[in-house]
Amino acid sequence: MGLISSVLTFLFGGGRNVVRETTEIFRENAENGAERSLTLQQQAMIQFGQEFQAPQKGTFDRFMDGLNRLPRPAMALGTLGLFIAAMVDPLWFAARMQGIALVPEPLWWLLGVIVSFYFGARHQAKVQDMQREITATMQRTPQVLENLRALKAMRSDGIGAADPGTDVDLAESAGHPDVNPALEDWRRKRVA
């Protein structure tokens, strides 16, 4: 008996577990591995979230953003204005178009490049804004799922929603409805 006791004390005594420690040399502890994986994933999400946060903009930046929003509406309204001018005063419109016909071809190419870069940069900025919004949505996802679970638990149209469980008093009171004087009066008048 003493030999068995000393062997078990050697293996499991003294606040140590030699078998577990030896096993962990060859195989990762699943719980510790899951904790490390969770920490790594949380740190990655925090880093990604910080990467897509929009910096606070100053007055100059807001002014430039407003100025950058002008070319698209100006081009659209200008084109509509040209159509209206062509209908209202065709001679004036034809004179202006003759002036545009004198613009050299390299200048048209330069205008095309400028417009392409403007719209390309705007598209890239919009895509980055969308990525920031997606990141914010992903960060809210766990809370939304928890809210959905709570709402689902509150539903009363499922089978067994009114089950009193092991509460005997509740089950007994459910079998005998409360006295309703108005209902009793209606029943008496109906019989009479």
Question: What is the predicted pLDDT for the residue at 96?
Answer: 86
Q: Could you tell me the two tokens for 48?
A: 């990604």
Question: What is the predicted pLDDT for the residue at 77?
Answer: 93
Question: What is the predicted pLDDT for the residue at 16?
Answer: 67
Q: Rounded to whole angstroms, how far apart are CA atoms 141 and 74?
A: 40
Q: Rounded to whole angstroms, how far apart are CA atoms 45 and 139?
A: 8
Question: What is the predicted pLDDT for the residue at 84?
Answer: 94
Question: What is the predicted pLDDT for the residue at 10?
Answer: 67
Q: Could you tell me the two tokens for 17?
A: 């577990």
- How close are the terminal C-alpha atoms of the chain, in Å? 91
Mean pLDDT per 10-residue interval, the chain, length 192 residues: 68 66 78 88 87 79 85 88 91 86 86 81 78 81 84 72 75 75 88 80
